[in-house]
A and B are shown apart, each in its own frame.
Chain A
Amino acid sequence: MAEARGLLERRHEPWITLPSFLWLVLLFMVPAAIVFAIAFKPSDPFGGIGAGWTLQTLRSLGDPNYPAILWRTIWLSVATTAACLLLATPTAYFMARTSASVRPLLVLAVIVPFWTSFLVRIFAWKVVLHPEGIVKHALAALHLVPQDGSLLYHSGAVLLVLVYTELPFAILPLFAAAEKFDFRLLEAARDLGAGPLRTFWSVFLPGIRRGLLTATLVTLIPALGSYVVPDLVGGPTSEMLGNKIAQRTFMDRNLPHASALSALLALAVLVPSAFAITLARGKRGDGTGGAA
């Protein structure tokens, strides 16, 4: 989240940003370059990195399983982001419209889940969705799911839990943008003949578009790299690229292969980010700041 903000806000204050710039270079860019480089190295049989350079690892990315996993990673992430935005935008709207005394409580309610360990919360979902769990039985009793069906270990469960984990990250920047939004503009739009939906679409959404952009980045990027969620609530048919990287690293002990997959994922993250940032720059300085 911090990196996304650093890139979004173009503040050329060389001395003030120097420490964080060094931090970024040493701990993010250099390691990223090393990961890219290792992808061009051979692996040695003991789990280390061999000498010399090779394109062998990159060729092994041609594994017929990968396109399907990459595609699943992308659609699950995009679906997660879309669902988060759809849920978070109205939430942010109502949070910003409630009285100033209630607002901090709502913000607190959004943040409270973070006080519990991420892993514990994912495990909680395993309990909730368990084949012998109360939710499953209730749904089965209503004939909404078959008696022998499962709520766990497929892409649907992964999507549900991903949306759950990413939702607060989408709400917060959208709320920050909505809080700064001048709600009198909505009255102006109604006055000029726009109905409630048109007003929301043509005036409110453009007014918080920086918040929308930030929310998109901070949900899409972690979703693309997610590994724990599909590992715990997903099954063999809902593996994501993150799981494959973990397998190559821990089980196959093939670091170059894991690096190649990481590079692939990094590119999948960087390309949309660069696109979004260019978009933000193009529309800069419109007086309606909204980034979190």
Chain B
Amino acid sequence: MSDFIQFENVSRQYGNVRAVDDVSLGIRKGEFFSLLGPSGCGKTTLLRMLAGFERPDTGRVLLDGVDITELPPERRKVNTIFQNYALFPHLSVRQNIAFGPTVARRPRREVDEEVDKMLALIQMRDHADKRIDQISGGQKQRVAIARALINKPAVLLLDEPLAALDLKLRQRMLIELDMVHDQVGITFVFVTHDQGEAMSLADRVAVMNAGHIEQIGRPVEIYETPQTSFVAAFIGDSNFFEGVVEEVTDVEHVKLAIEGFSALRAFNDKGLAKGDRVFLSVRPEKIRISRDEPHAGPDYNIARAVVDDVIYLGTHTLFWLRSGDYRLAVEQQHNRFVLDELPIRWKDEVWLQWHVDDGFMLERYAESDEALMGIPPQRVGEGDPAPAANERG
């Protein structure tokens, strides 16, 4: 199908930095699409190209089949919710919302009627005549949404709109955004560095890194089948093993030689051949930990480990383990508070098992990525004793 928004081989360079490097991307009509990535990955530049504040050095931007690359922002059927909302401080709530239609020289009465409708929609009728510095952060976001939507844009752009809010408010505004999207049904393009926001709201996510797109897909695809080590590390947490393909056992699986482990099997969706050097990624929650040797079938990998640290986190417990040269994270849910079972403690020797299909083969890291991400495959004795990788859990 033809996409509603199309970036065609778009590039943008600032000095020596390629902020956006030959990106092609299609966004469907009515979709809630999220651009996700660390700061400096080019996601905001892409958004600004769509809004009209940046021009690509090369490539085209199309909206509904029409080339809008050279169109100034005021002539695009696109409106933006800015990171700080950028509400006009010299105007009241009502005047802020009325700005678009007033500039478009719509009749005064018509403008008033529509502003009233918007005020009702965002439940700000009682605050219509307040100044912007008299309303709260959540209210500001609602005013920003109303000020954009009153122009009936074809696309709504959201540039990290939740970044300025505190956690509880952020969660509530997340739900509000979702409801607004359901109500108006227009295309949303949402830029964020917060994977939680992207995953919970978006129909599809594009994960960006260093000016290019690493992977596009539904949140579940991005999380469960990351295509690159960057995605695996950036979205959620991952344990990385470094190894060599020892044998291609069947169409879908390979056997890996990893130092310190007996042969591990893994899912082979990349068509790897014998001798390829790869990283194996296994999510912490996919690994099961037990005191006794598990009676696992041939579809499971088994390994031994020593407990380094036990961190109780309420919803689950995080174990830091040492296995061979590797430091591994394992998350275990506790469905009930078990007192009759001997709990796993510090220094205990334990067994690990995970399904072979839960292990993903990823291409080797580029050296530059390692510096960028700070989450390289972790080995004991390298780097800090307690990896901070789990902050995103």
Indicate whether A206 reaches chain B with its CB closer than 8 angstroms: yes
Chain B residues with CB under 8 A of A194: 74, 99, 103
B131-149 interface bits toward A, Cβ cutoff 8 Å, 1 = contact, 0 = none: 1110000000000000110
Interface hit among B81-89, B266-274, B340-348: B81-89
Chain B interface, number of residues (Cβ within 8 angstroms): 26
Contact A192 B99 (CB under 8 A): yes
Q: Check A286 for interface membership: any CB of B closer than 8 A.
A: yes
A187 to B: closest C-beta gap in Å: 6
A198 to B75, CA, bound (A): 14
Contacting A at CB under 8 A, from B56-114, are 72-74, 78-80, 82, 84, 86-90, 99-100, 103-104
For B87, the closest partner residue in chain A by CB is A188
A191 within 8 A of B: yes
What DSSP secondary structure best describes chain A's contact surface?
helix
Cross-chain contact A185 with B86 (CB below 8 angstroms): yes
Q: Within the assembled complex, what's the spacing in Å between the Cα atoms of A188 and B72?
A: 13
Determine whether A184 belongs to the interface, using a CB cutoff of 8 Å to chain B: yes
Q: At the interface, yes or no: B317 with Cβ under 8 Å from chain A?
A: no
Inter-chain CA distance A209–B91, complex, in Å, is 13
Chain A residues with CB below 8 A from B377, complex form: none
B74 CB contacts on chain A under 8 angstroms: 190-195
Q: Does B52 contact A (CB under 8 A)?
A: yes
Query: In the complex, A207→B88 CA distance in Å?
Result: 9
A203 touches B72 (CB 8 A): no
User: Are the C-beta atoms of A187 and B53 separated by less than 8 Å?
Assistant: yes
- For A287, the chain B residues whose CB sits under 8 A away are 89, 131-133
Contact of B88 with A203 in the complex, beta carbons under 8 Å: yes
B131 with A191: CB separation less than 8 A: no
The answer to whether the Cβ of A232 comes within 8 Å of any Cβ in the partner chain is: no
Most buried by A among B72, B79, B90, B99: B90
Quick check: A192 and B151 within 8 Å, CB to CB? yes
Which residue of chain B has the shortest Cβ distance to A207 in the bound complex? B90
- Contact (Cβ within 8 A) B72 A190: yes
Residues in B whose Cβ lies below 8 Å from that of A286: 89-90, 131, 133
B84 in contact with A192 (CB, 8 Å): no
Closest chain-B Cβ to A208's Cβ sits at a distance in Å of 10
Chain B residues with CB under 8 Å of chain A are: 51-53, 72-74, 78-80, 82, 84, 86-90, 99-100, 103-104, 131-133, 147-148, 151
List 5 extra interface pairs beyond A189-B88, A191-B74, A193-B100, CB under 8 A: A182-B84, A182-B89, A185-B86, A192-B103, A202-B103
A residues at B contact (CB < 8 Å): 182, 184-185, 187-195, 198, 202-203, 206-207, 209, 286-288
What are 20 pairs between A and B in contact, CB < 8 Å? A182-B89, A185-B89, A187-B80, A187-B82, A188-B87, A190-B52, A190-B72, A190-B74, A191-B73, A192-B103, A192-B147, A192-B148, A193-B74, A193-B104, A195-B74, A202-B103, A286-B133, A287-B89, A288-B89, A288-B90
